[in-house]
Structure 1
């Protein structure tokens, strides 16, 4: 960070993109495989963000992009460590979006699908058409001064961009709640027909 400040005098943008894989089925996963992935993805992002945070706060401006993954959002066999780390980045995003709002610091996340040195061996034929260059435009937008979004997650790959969000259903309220009442109403509790989009400083009612 000192090098960046010396060269440019300010730091406006941070993209937390560092990552490694240590894949294994959960029954075979070792503590070392978990700690290695958490150290690079989650602790790495924490340490770099912590270094840039006071600079952005003082400048009253900043744009941060977290690199999450569909594995964390939706799951994927053999990647419990990776999924946990990637969802940790989403949790960090939600908190920092709230804390950074007063200083005009926006933080969003991408869940990219792209052919890279880390993924090309496991993507095979599916990697065709998944050029990293098709992820770049979303990152450029989220890093731009005109971007007014914060605490948003975007799935991006192969030219497709969509928002992924955390929603809370209307559910039920029962001051005398019992396990039996939950079982009887589970379909109503699960019903996504009406929900609230949660995350960041703004909450939106839908349905």
Structure 2
């Protein structure tokens, strides 16, 4: 059975020489995940979210008002999850509230922040999973740490959806992730404008 080096060369034309790896120092060992594509389907929002008829709301509300209300809801979600503590995130949220374009291109500061958070959440999940398997209660990463990262990743996902597919499509993610018990009252106030 051929080894990995032979397969690299035979299948892909890549010649790998292990000794070459020691010639140059790595400038960075940080590998950030590639984010999944945001579904660009125009009608991706769910009809009912948390016993709330979102589809009817979007249908009867002018698009500009939906956008403004969802930008406000997104800002509240970011504050609840502490996703807004990063400068590039707070800048993006301010831009969404003003109806401006947000730079979320690959390797932009915002993209790097979101990918870093995703990597941190993944690492925390691995540590928490390992704690259960090895019963290490002294580990510096706890279940609550992982939960905090997971909430921020969900807020980041909502922001990505808002930027890439718009407020109506991101509305279900935003509203389903809100943590406040008063989100309906706040949404009503946001829609009033």
> TM (normalized to structure 2)?
0.24
**Structure having the larger proportion of residues in helix:** 2
**Highest relative contact order (Cα 8 Å, sep 6+), 1 or 2?**
2
**Structure having the larger proportion of residues in strand:** 1
Structure index of larger Rg:
2
> TM (normalized to structure 1)?
0.23
